[in-house]
Amino acid sequence: MFLLFLSLGGVTLYSINGGKKSDNKFKAIVAISHGVGLLLLLVAGFGLMKFRDISHSALPVWIILKIVIWLAFGGLLTLAYKNAKYAKILWFVFPIMGLFAAYLAFYQPS
């Protein structure tokens, strides 16, 4: 989770301050940390499903929502790079999405 939010926050702040993707000297490191963070979260999520004996055939709604959030975290990095206006909004959206994902994992609403 730390790697994911580190890369998302870094790119968002870089874009807000007027940085362009082509000028970013650390774009490869950011992309790697973003991808590794997403991969670790995916593996941990499947581990949680195994631990809770949740079938892969009939997924509960909270798992589907967590997959949607995971996909959004994966795609919104490019949106943060594209436009500083969107990056300013995403600066507040990313933590809210993270809190919602944590809520879903902790309480597992039906």
Residues 18-62: pLDDT tens digits?
988 888 899 899 999 999 999 999 999 999 889 988 887 888 999
Q: What is the pLDDT of residue 48?
A: 87
Q: Which residues form the domain of 42? A: 2-107
110 pLDDT band, cuts 50/70/90, is: confident
Q: By C-alpha distance, which of 81, 71, 98, 99 is closest to 16?
A: 81
Please tell me the total count of domains within the chain.
Answer: 1
The C-alpha atoms of residue 24 and residue 80 are separated, in whole angstroms, by 13
Q: What is the pLDDT of residue 107?
A: 92
Around Cβ 76, how many Cβ atoms within 10 Å? 19
Q: Which residues contact 52 (CB under 8 A, 6 or more apart)?
A: 108
Please give the single-letter amino acid code of residue 102: A
